[in-house]
Homo-oligomer: A and B are copies of this chain.
Amino acid sequence: MQLSSKVLENAVMQFSKLPGIGKRTALRLVLHLIDEPQEKVNLLAESIKTLKTDVKICTKCFNIADAALCNVCLNSSRKHEIICVVETIRDVIAIESTQQYNGSYHVLGGVISPLDGIGPNDIKINELIERIKAEPIEELIFALNPNIQSDTTSFYIQKNLPVLPKKITTIARGIAFGGELEYADEMTLGKSIMHRVAVTNL
């Protein structure tokens, strides 16, 4: 792509480094910004700049935070004796969006994956174990993606806990709302029959 301005070319190059943004999309975004008023463009630039300086990681649960602790950990109306173990910050956001969970989180920042060179010490497992040792935990929920690495991770955590919490659960697998039985894979359909729920419990 031949651009007649070095400034434009630089901005397009910077934008196209973002995931899923190609050169054409980058150019569209940059040309859009050129047409916007200065204040709006500055707002975007500032919000990007402050990301690295002002966004902190919660020292307790490793969620994104504005201070030392995140909004979930600071919220006294939430049940801190329930910990939901997730892989990424994105998972916290997804669960929070459902408005169905009122406990706390623990973001591992990955799962154990020997093939990728990720061992138990590369993710926040020790911090989780220390946390469970330090405070009384009623329930530990594993909300990990269904794969072998996640199974290994949850198994490793359970093996390394000196005392197991009263309840250890995992999120339900089954047919999604809007999903069709006919097209579901056998694994999912099998699990959803095995773990069928009494109609009154719905």
Residues of chain A whose beta carbon lies under 8 Å from any beta carbon of chain B: 1-8, 10-11, 13-15, 17-21, 25, 27-34, 36, 38, 40-55, 63-66, 70-72, 89-90, 92-93, 96-97, 99
> What number of copies of this chain does the assembly contain?
2
> When the two chains form the complex, which single residue of B18, B27, B70 contacts A32, counting CB atoms closer than 8 Å?
B18
What are the nearest 3 A-B pairs in CB distance? Answer: A2-B96, A45-B49, A45-B48
A10 to B14, CA, bound (A): 21
Known contacts A19-B28, A28-B19, A44-B15, A4 near B63 by CB under 8 Å: yes
Known contacts A18-B32, A47-B10; decide if A3 and B52 are in contact (CB<8 Å).
no
What separation, in Å, do the CA atoms of A5 and B58 have in the docked complex? Answer: 10
Q: Are B19 and A55 in contact (CB under 8 A)?
A: no
Point out the residues of chain B lying under 8 angstroms from A17, CB to CB. Answer: 40, 44
A2 contacts across to B, CB distance below 8 A: 93, 96-97, 99
7 residue pairs bridging A and B, Cβ less than 8 Å apart: A2-B99, A5-B64, A10-B50, A11-B48, A18-B44, A45-B45, A45-B49
Task: Write the nearest CB–CB distance from A74 to chain B, whole angstroms.
Answer: 9
CA distance A29 to B26 in the complex (A): 13
Within the complex, what minimum Cβ distance (angstroms) separates A108 from chain B?
Answer: 15
A3 pairs with B93, CB closer than 8 A: yes
A38 lies within 8 A of B52 (CB): yes
> Does the CB pair A20–B25 fall under 8 Å?
yes
- A3-B64, A4-B63, A19-B28 are known contacts. Are A48 and B44 too (CB-CB below 8 A)? yes
Most chain B beta-carbon contacts within 10 A, residue among A7, A50, A92? A7
